[in-house]
Amino acid sequence: MIDAKTKVLGLLAHPIGHSLSPLLQNTLATVCGENVAYLPFEVKNPEELGAAICGAHALGIAGFNVTVPYKEAVIPHLCGLSEEARLIGAVNTLVRTEEGYVGHNTDIAGMATMLARRNLRMEGAHILLLGAGGAARSAAVLAATGGAAELVILNRNTARAEALAKAVRDINPFLTVRTAALEHWRELPGNDYLCIQCTSVGMWPNTEETIVEDPRFFEKLSAAADIVYTPEETKFLRLARAAGKPVAGGLAMLISQGAHAFSLWTGKRCTAEQEEELLTLAKGALPA
């Protein structure tokens, strides 16, 4: 029941209608016994983002999730950043303080959980990233700080891949980092790459698209993960599974991101059983 003590949280995005966050966060609040109301707030005009943040703080809104297109644009309007947010250069969670909102990034924690659920280890692994955007940056930071043996970044735009590689080398100069154009995957040595697909290719409604389709690509992998969560299993993951590789889907990452954000807002940590409940709920809410 909403009353004067209800903690108001929300989502900042544009567009906003597709998001599962209100369903998941309000369910989590109920499960954890927290007096929370989580609402969607659509900021259609980027020029009004600063005013929206200022007004939300004045109204006492306790925090937000932030997604496209504002994960970087919101940073100038914040009073501070967590270490993870600073390394990634983007935020997905805001926590209110008296001085303003502090930006956090729970992508790394979410990605680590996604891999751990399938017993996939970053430590000592040869990591292959497909893409060089925001999600790839989170995965690259995880590789740089999580003990990976090697990081290879494949992207159609090699300049973006090299820019990401430079950022990773600044974080961990001891990590071997290589880049190449996506179409040069055939030149990759070895066959033990933990591959993380970090683009939106294959996302609903374009579910029959995949960034790589050649079966020989999947022979180079030890396992495959995909950040896309609609559908639950993308064509990329289906091809990897057909090649006999373990796979990890993006829905577990979404759930873990949200659970870590909820902990930042409330101090309540989500149990593994509660995350499983949320995962089941989310599966039922995905587009058919």
In three-state secondary structure terms, 139 is helix
CA atoms within 13 A on the CB side of 146: 24
105 has binding-site annotation: no
20 is in an annotated binding site: yes
The response to whether 17 counts as a known ligand-binding position is no
13 marked among binding-site residues: no
Element (H, E) at 193: strand 193-197
Examine the residue annotation and report whether 245 is marked as an active-site residue of this protein: no
Buried b or exposed e, range 230-255, using 16+ CB within 10 angstroms: bbebbbbbebbeebebebbbbbbbbb
75 is in an annotated binding site: no
Residue 80: strand pairing partners: 102
Residue 134 labelled as part of a binding site: yes
CB under 8 A, 24+ apart: contacts of 184-188: 184/154, 185/154, 185/212, 185/217, 185/220, 186/216, 188/128, 188/152, 188/220
Is 258 annotated to bind ligand?
no
Q: Quote the CA–CA distance of 97 and 142 in Å, as a whole number.
A: 27
Q: Which amino acid is at 143?
A: A
> Which residue in the list 71, 220, 235, 245 is annotated as catalytic?
71
Euclidean distance between CA atoms 266 and 95, whole angstroms: 10
DSSP type of residue 185 = G
Distance, in Å, from the CA atom of 183 to the CA atom of 176, rounded to the nearest integer, reads 21
- Coil, strand, or helix at residue 25? helix
Which helix H or strand E contains 101, and what residues bound it? strand 101-104
244/238 Cα distance (integer angstroms): 10
Tell me if 131 is assigned to a ligand binding site.
yes
- Whether 192 has a binding-site annotation, put simply, is no
83 annotated binding-site participant = yes
* Dist. CA 242–CA 203, nearest whole Å: 19
Annotation: binding site for shikimate: 19-21, 67, 92, 107, 229, 257
Catalytic residue list: 71
Instruction: List residues forming the annotated binding site for NADP(+).
Output: 83, 131-135, 227, 250
Q: Which residues are annotated as a binding site?
A: 19-21, 67, 83, 92, 107, 131-135, 227, 229, 250, 257
